[in-house]
């Protein structure tokens, strides 16, 4: 198929109630020049006494979007910002998936929120296991698609496996599916592979999710990002709660992005990842280590519960993923500070199968 010719049928994709709904028009929507000189703002029932927080935030997060657009080299009309990725993922369900009618496809083992949100929105979650080398099983995925399948969720780099999906697998899915393909790139800044962001102009059914919670060190601010075609963005902007990103988060994110400290931290974490990886290789109780393009490493041990508890007894909390499909006996460890990793490395030398 010629990509340029790929069209998506929004009439099919968008829920009926969303097509016809009129969005809430906030005071700040109608007049948003809050800093414009000597205007008197008596339109939003705010407390007028200035304290830095008495005004509603910009519902369209204009400045933050401009900053992100510059960093990511996209147009700010291609961005939606939410209260964490979890909110923007939920918006996708609410815009495109009709409760008790439509379905989505997810690829376990993967990030748990896709399934939780499907449940919450009464959407069937068709699960198609990754292959043994943690790649999408493309033919099985396409076989499970029916006329009610609205979204396929690809997490690349994937949590908890740590790998990216091969380009040819992603392209085959994007080109042969008429619904939305969502690529969750929460960990993309830790990978040497490029983001799929630049492909949103080529594929109108492609939606990229990123977050400021991981590489950018702002999990506490709750800022999740959608990058997609303007058509998709317009729908999501229409249904999002008007003031979903508070003014402190907008302000601090702009400041922290400007400092560019994250660039140094990403490089530091990648180096630290290699150190922890080497220690895992030498560790007697580790039976398998999976390559990582993220800020965590998945590894297999004989007895995950025993080893999880040994970490805990030594004051280190890791994640036991042994109940996830294909992850029997697996623990997932996040890369910490150099000092924290030293402690992990020391412990790895001592762990035993008692
Ligand atoms: C793949 C993936 N996507 C999204 C998130 C959540 O991001 P946020 O903090 O923006 O909600 C996580 C968090 O662990 C994740 O692993």
Query: Which is the closest atom of ligand 1 to the Cα of 223?
Result: 10
Query: Which is the closest atom of ligand 1 to the Cα of 111?
Result: 1
- 233-284 tens-digit pLDDT: 999 999 999 999 999 999 999 999 999 999 999 999 999 999 999 999 999 9
CA distance 133 to 161: 10
Other Cβ atoms within 10 Å of 233 Cβ, number: 20
- 96-151 tens-digit pLDDT: 999 999 999 999 999 999 999 999 999 999 999 999 999 999 999 999 999 999 99
CA 64 vs CA 88, 142, 247: distances in Å: 16, 37, 11
State in Å: Cα 41 to ligand 1 middle: 37
Of 6-15, 23-32, 124-133, which has the strongest mean pLDDT? 124-133
pLDDT value at position 34?
Answer: 59
Across the chain, mean pLDDT equals 95
What are the respective helix, strand and coil percentages of the chain, to the nearest 5? 40, 15, 45
Q: Where is average pLDDT lowest: 35-39, 122-126, 300-304?
A: 35-39
What strand order describes the sheet that includes 224-227?
Answer: 79-82, 224-227, 206-211, 180-184, 149-155, 103-106, 124-127
Q: What percent of the chain has pLDDT over 70?
A: 97
The pTM of the full predicted model, rounded to 2 decimals, is 0.96
Which residues does 123 contact at the CB level (< 8 Å), separation at least 6? 93, 97, 99, 102, 103, 104, 150
Q: Give, for ligand 1, the residue of 106, 111, 164 to mutate: max count of ligand atoms closer than 8 Å to Cβ.
A: 111
**What does the pLDDT average to over 287-291?**
98
Query: Which is the closest atom of ligand 1 to the Cα of 87?
Result: 11
**What does the pLDDT average to over 294-298?**
98
Q: Give, for ligand 1, the residue of 80, 85, 163 to mutate: max count of ligand atoms closer than 8 Å to Cβ.
A: 85
Query: Which is the closest atom of ligand 1 to the Cα of 187?
Result: 1
Q: Is the pLDDT of residue 20 over 70?
A: yes
Between 2 and 186, the more confident residue is 186
CA 250 vs CA 118, 146, 214, 345: distances in Å: 29, 40, 17, 38
Pocket of ligand 1 from Cβ distances under 6 Å: 84-86, 111, 155, 159, 184, 186, 211, 213, 219, 224
Question: Residue 21 gets which letter from DSSP?
Answer: P
Could you tell me the pLDDT band of residue 31, with boundaries at 50, 70 and 90? confident
State in Å: Cα 296 to ligand 1 middle: 13
pLDDT value at position 32?
Answer: 67
Q: Is the pLDDT of residue 353 over 90?
A: no
* Strand ranges, E, within the chain: 79-82, 103-106, 124-127, 149-155, 180-184, 206-211, 224-227, 286-289, 296-301, 319-320, 330-334
pLDDT value at position 5?
Answer: 59
Counting every residue written for the chain, the total comes to 354
Could you tell me the pLDDT band of residue 33, with boundaries at 50, 70 and 90? low
pLDDT value at position 7?
Answer: 76
Q: Is the pLDDT of residue 47 over 90?
A: yes
State in Å: Cα 22 to ligand 1 middle: 30
- Bridge partners (DSSP) of residue 127 are 106
Q: Is the pLDDT of residue 176 over 80?
A: yes
Task: Kindly state the helix (H) or strand (E) to which residue 77 belongs, with its residue range.
Answer: none
- 71-93 tens-digit pLDDT: 999 999 999 999 999 999 999 99
Query: Which is the closest atom of ligand 1 to the Cα of 211?
Result: 10
Q: Is the pLDDT of residue 2 over 70?
A: no
| Residue minimizing CA distance to atom 2 of ligand 1 | 186
Number of Cα atoms under 13 Å in the Cβ half of residue 167: 5
């Amino acid at each position: 198929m010629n990509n340029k010719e790929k069209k998506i049928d929004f009439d099919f994709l968008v829920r009926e109630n969303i097509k016809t709904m009129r969005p809430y028009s906030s005071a700040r929507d109608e007049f948003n020049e809050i800093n414009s000189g000597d205007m008197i703002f008596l339109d939003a029932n705010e407390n007028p006494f200035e304290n830095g927080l008495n005004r509603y935030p910009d519902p369209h997060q204009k400045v933050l979007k401009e900053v992100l657009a510059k960093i990511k080299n996209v147009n700010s009309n291609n961005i939606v910002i939410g209260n964490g990725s979890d909110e923007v993922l939920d918006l996708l369900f609410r815009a495109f998936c009709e409760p008790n009618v439509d379905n989505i496809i997810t690829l376990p083992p993967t990030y748990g929120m896709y399934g939780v949100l499907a449940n919450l929105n009464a959407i069937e979650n068709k699960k198609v296991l990754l292959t043994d080398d943690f790649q999408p099983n493309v033919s099985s995925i396409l076989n499970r698609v029916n006329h009610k399948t609205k979204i396929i969720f690809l997490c690349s780099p994937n949590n908890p496996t740590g790998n990216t999906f091969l380009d040819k697998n992603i392209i085959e899915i994007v080109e042969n599916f008429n619904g939305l393909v969502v690529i969750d790139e929460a960990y993309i800044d830790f990978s040497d592979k490029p983001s799929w962001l630049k492909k949103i102009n080529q594929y109108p059914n492609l939606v990229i999710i990123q977050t400021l919670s991981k590489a950018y060190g702002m999990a506490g601010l709750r800022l999740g990002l959608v990058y997609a075609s303007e058509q998709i963005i317009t729908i999501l902007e229409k249904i999002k709660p008007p003031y979903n990103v508070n003014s402190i988060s907008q302000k601090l994110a702009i400041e922290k992005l400007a400092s560019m400290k994250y660039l140094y931290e990403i490089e530091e974490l990648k180096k630290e990842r290699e150190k922890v990886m080497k220690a895992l290789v030498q560790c007697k109780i580790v039976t398998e280590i999976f390559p990582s393009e993220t800020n965590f490493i998945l590894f297999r041990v004989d007895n995950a519960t025993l080893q999880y508890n040994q970490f805990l007894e030594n004051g280190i909390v890791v994640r036991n993923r042994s109940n996830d499909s294909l992850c029997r006996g697996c623990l997932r460890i996040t890369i910490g500070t150099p000092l924290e990793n030293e402690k992990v490395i020391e412990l790895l030398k001592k762990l035993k199968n008692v």
